Structure 1
Amino acid sequence: MKKFRHITAAVALGTVASLALAGCAGGSDNGDNGDSGDNGDLGTITLGYLPSWTDGLSMAYLAQDQLEKLGYTVEMEEMTEAGPLYTGLARGDFDVYPSAWPEVTHAEYMEEYGDDLEDLGAYYDGAVLTLAVPTYMDDINSIEDLKGQADRFDGKITGIEPGAGLTGVTQDSAMPEYGLDGEYELLTSSTAGMLAELDTAYAAEEDIVVTLWRPFWAYNSWEMKDLEDPKGAMGEPETLNFIAHAGTSDEFPEASELFGKIKLDDDQYGALEGLVTSDEYEGDPEAAVDAWIEENGDQFDWLVTE
């Protein structure tokens, strides 16, 4: 499993950064924004993101690259949970969350904080939440097939962070809808913890069911299949969006215009995430973005070049 080491390190770094955030505010309230940056640039813009969700990790570093080429100074705030991230975004601790799931996964946060947020546009269509099993499990193809099979899985569905939208949808919608809440327990820990459990079970070809999502690089590292969801309990496909603190489009018009233009398809996004999370570029996501632009840059009319 060549990518697991990087994501574990990213989650560990995120824990430190999230603690630091409580004591220092960035973004809109730091007095450095506007047209008077120290280096004569467009000001300082702060991105908050969840490194354990590598769509956010990848897009944050692509956004950093593009914003710096426009003339912004970019600061990065790593978080470990969606709840504190949206709280910080709503109160202006940072300016933009570059990979939100606003329609299903993070809908409760959008409803709670919507008056203090603004949507700067979607960069990816077709994101989905799933329950998944390894492809060697030939007889489990639907969430319905899990009913009555709890003993095979030690009575557990292996999940990610307790505050993740995926956790809420699984626990509050899918499990009761399919009658699994009396048989199974959703075990939560972290994305890294879920991947470690998956890696161990996969190596031994043991039965395991995990919470996953697309797009996610795990599908490139293990042969997995999404379980059919005939009742639609995991939610409809949604978009991945740039969600900002309210007023960001007025304060940072050039950045907001850029975010509205960025669009990635499956292959383009998969290449970006694959490079950013690879062993080759471990600890150097900026170099991964540079490599991605070199390989894919001619496909985009929105790309900012130096």
Structure 2
Amino acid sequence: MKKFRHITAIAAIGITASLALAGCATGNDTAGGDASGNEGGDKGTITLGFLPSWTDGLSMAYLLQDQFEKLGYTVEMQTLTEAGPLYTGLAQGDVDMYPSAWPEVTHVEYMNEYGDDLEDLGAYYDNAKLTIAVPSYSELESIEDLKGNAALLDGKIIGIEPGAGLTRQTQEDMMPAYGLDGEYTLETSSTAAMLTVLGEAIDKQEEVVVTLWRPFWANSAYDVKDLKDPLGAMGEAETLNFLGHKGFAEQFPEAAELVGKIKLDDDQYGSLEDLVVNEFGEGQEADAVDKWLEENGDQFDWVVKK
């Protein structure tokens, strides 16, 4: 299963989350350039922080690397395994930008804590959702159906990282709202581990329930369906935003102007993530971005348009 193998690989490269963010860098600080011969680095260095296993941030980080280097910036990547240290580093200025934040619902706890030291640089996608999902062959149709069916599912909801906003939303809002506390436990580990359990269950045609989100390539790679959420306990649809440290736009004005122009719909975002994560894979992200820009035309190469 090619898609799963890659998500496992990129998850494995993330180092233990800590506030020593310099130790989390990938070392990717090579200056870039565009077709006009503009060399990266003249305008300073922008550090992009993201969690490799959360592939919306991974995909957008490499797209921004391409665009920022064409503008004349040097770009460095810093990978972490938890959102908390990422937001801490962003607020402290150790990280310049998080390229795919979920500020309205999923990461609202971090926004409440660090928001005064952050700068919202705009949303690139406006229909992000947290979901509870089961295999398509399951007879379960709604989160309400989980009540009384713990034996069918071994009393487990398979989750992702403990510090994820999706984990908090599931544990603190969804499970109490549907009366699932005491009947189910939320098993947390990592995105890669969750996908392993999901894939193995589907291969065996067994029942399983997992925490997922949209947009995420796994929704098309695995035969799954979202459970209906009549109580709205997983939260409303939200935007995916570019977040910088306070003062980012003043420090990097052309970068801030550029990201304010980026807007992607489902098809555009889906094709970017699929190319970066699945078709090209680890170590070939820049080639994936080049292919995406080629396929989507000049209208999505914002530096060229400018």
TM normalised by structure 1 equals: 0.92
Aligned amino acid, residue 56 of structure 1 = G
Aligned amino acid, residue 80 of structure 1 = T
Given that 2:106 and 2:169 are in contact with CA atoms closer than 8 Å, whether structure 1 keeps it comes out as yes
- Is 1:101 equivalent to 2:102 in the alignment? yes
RMSD: 2.0
- Is 1:148 equivalent to 2:148 in the alignment? yes
2-structure distance, mates of 1:276, 1:16: 24
Point out where structure 1 has 5 or more consecutive residues left out of the alignment. Answer: 27-37
TM superposition shift of 1:85: 0.6
Given that 1:281 and 1:287 are in contact with CA atoms closer than 8 Å, whether structure 2 keeps it comes out as no
The residue that corresponds to 2:256 in the other structure is 256
2-structure distance, mates of 1:135, 1:25: 39
Given that 1:98 and 1:242 are in contact with CA atoms closer than 8 Å, whether structure 2 keeps it comes out as yes
Given that 1:129 and 1:235 are in contact with CA atoms closer than 8 Å, whether structure 2 keeps it comes out as yes
TM superposition shift of 1:176: 0.4
Note the 1:123-202 alignment, pairs <5 A. Answer: 123-137=124-138, 139-202=139-202
Given that 2:158 and 2:211 are in contact with CA atoms closer than 8 Å, whether structure 1 keeps it comes out as yes
TM superposition shift of 1:305: 7.1
TM normalised by structure 2 equals: 0.92
Given that 2:68 and 2:74 are in contact with CA atoms closer than 8 Å, whether structure 1 keeps it comes out as yes
Note the 1:200-215 alignment, pairs <5 A. Answer: 200-215=200-215
TM superposition shift of 1:90: 0.5
Deviations 1:93-129 (CA, angstroms, capped at 9, x unpaired): 1100000000000001001001100100000010000
TM superposition shift of 1:280: 3.5
The residue that corresponds to 1:115 in the other structure is 116
2-structure distance, mates of 1:14, 1:155: 30
- Identity within the alignment, %: 71
- Is 1:216 equivalent to 2:211 in the alignment? no
- Is 1:241 equivalent to 2:268 in the alignment? no
TM superposition shift of 1:303: 4.6
Aligned amino acid, residue 82 of structure 1 = A
Given that 2:49 and 2:96 are in contact with CA atoms closer than 8 Å, whether structure 1 keeps it comes out as yes
TM superposition shift of 1:304: 3.6
- Is 1:12 equivalent to 2:12 in the alignment? yes
TM superposition shift of 1:2: 2.1
Deviations 1:53-92 (CA, angstroms, capped at 9, x unpaired): 1000000000100000010000000011011110110011
Given that 1:128 and 1:214 are in contact with CA atoms closer than 8 Å, whether structure 2 keeps it comes out as yes
Aligned amino acid, residue 123 of structure 2 = A
2-structure distance, mates of 1:22, 1:281: 25
The residue that corresponds to 1:52 in the other structure is 53
User: How many pairs are equivalent?
Assistant: 294
Aligned amino acid, residue 295 of structure 1 = E
Given that 1:128 and 1:213 are in contact with CA atoms closer than 8 Å, whether structure 2 keeps it comes out as yes
The residue that corresponds to 1:81 in the other structure is 82
2-structure distance, mates of 1:13, 1:247: 30
TM superposition shift of 1:222: 1.0
TM superposition shift of 1:44: 0.5
Given that 2:122 and 2:259 are in contact with CA atoms closer than 8 Å, whether structure 1 keeps it comes out as yes
Instruction: Between 217-226 and 246-255, report the one with greater CA deviation.
Output: 217-226
1-structure distance, mates of 2:25, 2:70: 24
